[in-house]
Amino acid sequence: MGVWEQVGLKVGLEIHRQLQTHKLFCSCESVLTETDHWTFSRHLRPTRSELGSIDQAASEEAKLKREFTYQATPDICLVEMDEEPPHPVNQEAVDITLTIARLLGSIPVDELSFMRKIVIDGSNTTGFQRTGLMAFGGKVDTPQGPVRVSTLCLEEDAARIVETDHSTATYRLDRIGIPEVELATEPDIHTPEQAKEAARALGDLLRATRKVRRGLGTIRQDVNVSIAGGKRVEIKLVQDLNSIPLIVEEEARRQYRLIHVAKELETRGITKEEVLAHKDNIIDLTEDLSNTSSKVLQRALNNNGIILGVKLDGFAGLMGQKGGGSPVEGAPESWLYDGKRLLGPEIADYAKVKGVKGLFHSDELPAYGVTPAEVDMVKGLLSCTHDDGFVLVAESPDIATAAMDAVIERSAMAVDGVVAEVRKPLPDNSTQYLRPMPGAARMYPETDLKPLELDRDRAAQIDGDLPELFGAKVVRYVSEFGLSQESANQLVFSSDFEMFEDLSKDHDPKVVTTTILSWTSEAANEGANTDHLTTDTLDVVLTALDESKFAKEAVPNVLVGLCKKMDEDPTDPTQALEATINELGLETVDDSEIIAVIDEELQKRLDFVKEQGMRAIGPLMGPVMGRLRGKADGKKISQLLKQRISELT
């Protein structure tokens, strides 16, 4: 039994992907802009849902009383600003989502009704996000087995964050209202690698529609992870496909550590109530530690801060790294000895939300300038026995008190093991506590929009016109265009099949393949900014090649020159190409000029040619090509060379 089976790993994905169409509830274009804007401000009030309850996460956030500033850009209208009700839903967005549903084998709903999902971070001017369930069921295949899809929703994207601190946040409204699908899977994924494969397969399927947006910020992937005895933890905004397995593994290990801590606390007979009772037992140690040589503590004291301490009964050894024992190689037990700290970082994360930069716990002291004598003194003042732990926090009185309450609350939760919560990934693939798991009271019906009946004729039309999936595409590229399996795979999966399909309509598919897979990267290796080489630009280049304005051999050089010209002026590829051809002296030569060069070279080696006959072709190609490089096609030269030699001999 593998380690993932032993720990009972379960992973589900939630993928958000923007659709390539105008906004969901108005006809504004879905474009992001960095140009001018004007701003307005709003305060967020805790939104009381029509069902009468306040979401736990919402009330948590509302305690912070934040003011939100919105940047209105020229491309938006009153809908994005919530000064006008939503217009009827974008029908193209509905069609794209239906297409995705059919590709997944999901069952569309009969009627699309939008719900309001409470959003408390200010990223929606309305205070909620509109989301509509479009389909349920279906699956996606991975090499490790199928992963069922639970729901497919169509929703509006939120505003994008410009800057934020504890009391304010500024958002730009260009992104709000861009349609996106939200696709959630069942927790059918059982290994970290399968999580990556499932995310990849779903991404490929969405791209196959050619109707999803690409690039940074157009995809958001959340990963839900649990192990047996743990709880579902949602890791938000995992950017990179390759980091998914690493993040999943790290989260499984973290949950394993927390389950171990809970078992230990149970063995030691510690209850939640006992831990929480220490809220009345927070000790002010400011006077006692006033002469400490710890820079961290001194900095707080110099800023009129206080030092608070609390005892945690029975927590000794459960906050720092696990020591002693002998881990078994390959068994999950060995995870406890991987050098990671147990409860310390969890408690610190909760305290940080209240505004402290960090804390000290007993398992890491003496250190950081806190002396053994000071540790003994603190233990004495807090009445700690050998089995107890303690935590120190140093900050301004308000923040220190709130942080210490959070420390005690989080420590009490440790009795239950893993806490269901939302976390964010860090650059080292570990995660950090972000907020509690949103409760169930987050949704209520959207009253400004009438439910939309999903008409059967339209569904049938979509069924009859489904896009080709990537696997089928590879097979077709090989059979229809004679491409190698490797090139077809590369074009479809890791390169730009849209570009290939568009260019192949007017140009030789093999030349298009070489252009995309080889020549473009050759140009990039020469330092060219190949972002200029869009489908339109390459169409201009390939058209000129078709018209023999230069030879195939010259294409990489042409692309380099063209990109340089377009660095100066990216607007006119035709003009840039003409200038490049002139600059490189690439105007092609006709047959008579080629023959003239061939004859000159033949004359120089007449004896050799007469002696060798056709075998002289090889040795002669070099010098002739050298004189005609980029001006004539190699095949043409070889053909004319053969002809002249046969005439001579």
**Least distance (Å) from Zn ion to the CB of residue 90?**
11
* CA gap 468, 106 in Å, rounded: 17
Number of H helices, E strands in the chain: 23, 22
Q: Do the beta carbons of residue 285 and residue 378 sit within 8 Å?
A: yes
Residue 174 or 501: which CB sits closer to Zn ion?
Answer: 174
Cβ closest to Zn ion, residue 77 vs residue 437: 77
Supply the minimum distance, in Å, between the C-beta of residue 448 and Zn ion: 14
Using CB under 5 A as the criterion, what x/- string covers residues 57-76 for binding Zn ion? --------------------
**Closer to Zn ion by Cβ: residue 26 or 443:** 26
Q: What is the smallest separation between the CB atom of 180 and Zn ion, expressed in angstroms?
A: 16
Of 28 and 449, CB closest to Zn ion = 28
State whether the Cα torsion 612-613-614-617 is positive or negative: positive
How many residues sit close enough to Zn ion to count as binding (CB under 5 A)? 5
- For 401-425, give one letter per residue: b (16+ CB within 10 A) or e: bbbbbbbbebbbbbbebbbebbbeb
Nearer Cβ to Zn ion (30/243): 30
DSSP 479-525: HHH---HHHHHIIIIIS-HHHHHHHHTTS-HHHHHHIIIIIHHHHHH
Contact 641, 597 (CB under 8 A): no
Q: Smallest gap, in angstroms, from Cβ of residue 77 to Zn ion? A: 3
Closest approach of Zn ion to the CB of residue 78, in Å? 7
Q: Tokens 């002396």 — which residue?
A: 371
- Which listed residue (79, 154, 238, 318) binds Zn ion by CB under 5 A? 79
Contacts (CB under 5 A) with Zn ion, residues 455-474: none
CA angle 612, 614, 619 (to 5 degrees): 70
Shortest reach from residue 60's CB to Zn ion, in Å: 31
Residue with Cβ nearer Zn ion (99 or 125)? 125
24-32, 58-66, 185-193, 500-508 -> range binding Zn ion (CB under 5 A): 24-32
Stretch that binds Zn ion, among 20-28, 91-99, 286-294, 526-534 (CB under 5 A): 20-28
- Please give the sequence-ordered ranges of beta strands (E in DSSP) within 313-369, or none if there are none: 360-361
* Cβ pair 311, 382 in contact under 8 A: yes
Q: How far apart are CA 244 and CA 204, in angstroms?
A: 16
197: tokens are 């494969």
Residue 155 or residue 264: which is nearer to Zn ion going by CB?
Answer: 155
At position 75, the amino acid (one-letter code) is D
Stretch that binds Zn ion, among 26-34, 308-316, 419-427, 638-646 (CB under 5 A): 26-34
Taking CB under 5 A as the criterion, the residue among 26, 32, 184, 443 binding Zn ion is: 26
Q: Are 98 and 463 in contact (CB under 8 A)?
A: no
Tell me how far, at minimum, the Cβ of 113 lies from Zn ion, in Å: 22
Nearest distance, CB of residue 82 and Zn ion, angstroms: 11
Smallest distance from Zn ion to CB 29, Å: 9
How far is the first Cα of the chain from the last one, in angstroms, to the nearest whole number?
A: 76
Q: Footprint of Zn ion on residues 486-515 (CB under 5 A)?
A: none
Measured from the CB atom, is 26 or 115 closer to Zn ion?
26
Which pair of tokens denotes residue 545? 């090649």
One symbol per residue from 104 to 143: x for binding Zn ion (CB under 5 A), - otherwise; what is it?
A: ----------------------------------------
What is the smallest separation between the CB atom of 179 and Zn ion, expressed in angstroms? 12
> Which residue, 171 or 477, has its beta carbon nearer to Zn ion?
171
Indicate the residue among 174 and 346 with the shorter CB distance to Zn ion.
Answer: 174
Two structure tokens written together for 499:
């570009």
- Could you tell me the smallest distance in angstroms from the CB atom of residue 24 to Zn ion? 10
**Strand intervals (E) in 314-459:** 360-361, 389-395, 421-425, 431-436, 443-445, 452-453
Of the listed pieces 78-86, 155-163, 181-189, 496-504, which binds Zn ion according to CB under 5 A? 78-86
Backbone angles phi, psi at 257, to 5 degrees: -60, -45
The least CB distance from residue 174 to Zn ion, in Å, is: 10
- In the complex with Zn ion, which residue's Cβ is closer, 129 or 580? 129
Strand (E) positions, 241-345? 283-284, 306-312
Which residue type, as a one-letter code, is found at position 208? Answer: A
Q: Which is nearer to Zn ion, 26 or 296 (CB)?
A: 26
* Smallest distance from Zn ion to CB 153, Å: 21
77 binds Zn ion (CB under 5 A): yes
Length, in residues, of the chain = 649
Percentages of the chain per state (helix, strand, coil), in multiples of 5: 45, 20, 35
Run of H or E including 183 = strand 179-185
Q: Determine the interface stretch with Zn ion among 18-26, 318-326, 385-393, 560-568 (rule: CB under 5 A).
A: 18-26
For residue 514, what are the contacts with CB-CB under 8 A and spacing of at least 6?
none
| Span from 80-88, 93-101, 164-172, 555-563 in contact with Zn ion (CB under 5 A) | 80-88
Task: Name residues whose C-beta falls within 8 Å of residue 208's C-beta, 6 or more positions apart in sequence.
Answer: 103, 467, 468, 469, 470, 473
| Strand partners of residue 284 | 308
Single residue of 7, 11, 13, 28 touching Zn ion by CB under 5 A: 28
| Closer Cβ to Zn ion, 67 or 84, answer by number | 84
Interface ranges with Zn ion (CB under 5 A): 26, 28, 77, 79-80
